Amino acid sequence: MKQPAPRTRTRNAAATAPPEGLTTPRGATRERIRTIAEDLYVLRGHDGFSFGHIADAVGTTRANIHHHFRDKRQLMGELIDVFVDDALARIASNWTQPGARFADRLAAQLDDLHRFYTRFNPQPGDRNVWSPLSRLRLDLPTLGELASDALMRVDHAYDASLRQAVIEAVEAGELLPDTPVDDVARLLRVSLLSCAPMTQDSGDFKEVQKFFATIERMILAAWSSKGGPTPAARARPQPSKPRNRRA
């Protein structure tokens, strides 16, 4: 049976219906509910939306929402799993691509953040929360270990991937051999996790773009190298052509 279209919502309600024509109605309905719940959660937080809000957006009943997700705790558990899995995949895509230059990895990360920003802030001057991780941090008192464990997993992934990216930049001759790897990785991680509040203060993504440019200039001014690759980099097999990174 064809699902009814979602009811009219505010201009910043980023949740939209998935493509129609899916062959498993029950699975399609459940996925639609979860997709809309993801966006409502990021925009409004744990206490800012209910099963009633989801039902209105989907065009179904609250009983049907409960049928697919027993209670809000179960729903939040699944949403958090989605957020974490997506974050881990994007970290890997942005920071562990074989053969990518350090500057290209920074650019890929910036593009990734901008995609999230525009998804939840479609109008000029919008100041909505757009980062699922930032929203989880705001809801730590409510969600407890569900949120803290998820954030820890993402932080560890960032630490490992950023550290490896800096090491590879050193080995490739982009950064000096005495570059403090842990310090640079920490600087990058803390900077990345601070981007969402910047846009809420300014109502514009340009502040994040300027910040990224500043971070890149600072790192290169302190530790850039004009020399060639180190012996370790020369010994490492290089791919014939780097794969395209996701937008």
Tens of pLDDT along the chain (247 residues)? 444 444 433 334 334 333 333 334 567 889 999 999 999 999 999 999 999 999 999 999 999 999 999 999 999 999 999 999 999 999 999 999 999 999 999 999 999 999 999 999 999 989 999 999 999 999 999 999 999 999 999 999 999 999 999 999 999 999 999 999 999 999 999 999 889 989 988 889 999 999 999 999 999 999 998 644 444 444 444 444 444 433 3
> Which tokens belong to 172?
């490739």
In the chain, the domains with their CATH numbers are 1-70 (no CATH), 76-235 (1.10.357.10)
- Residues 6 or more apart in contact with residue 171 via CB below 8 angstroms: 229, 230, 232, 233, 236
Q: How far, in whole angstroms, is CA 62 from its chain's centroid?
A: 29
Among candidates 197, 131, 186, which has minimal Cα distance to 156?
A: 186
What per-residue confidence (pLDDT) applies to 225?
80
- Residues 6 or more apart in contact with residue 35 via CB below 8 angstroms: 15, 16, 18
Tell me the C-alpha distance between 187 and 84, whole Å: 22
- Residues 6 or more apart in contact with residue 39 via CB below 8 angstroms: 13, 14, 15, 16, 120
Global model pTM greater than 0.95: no
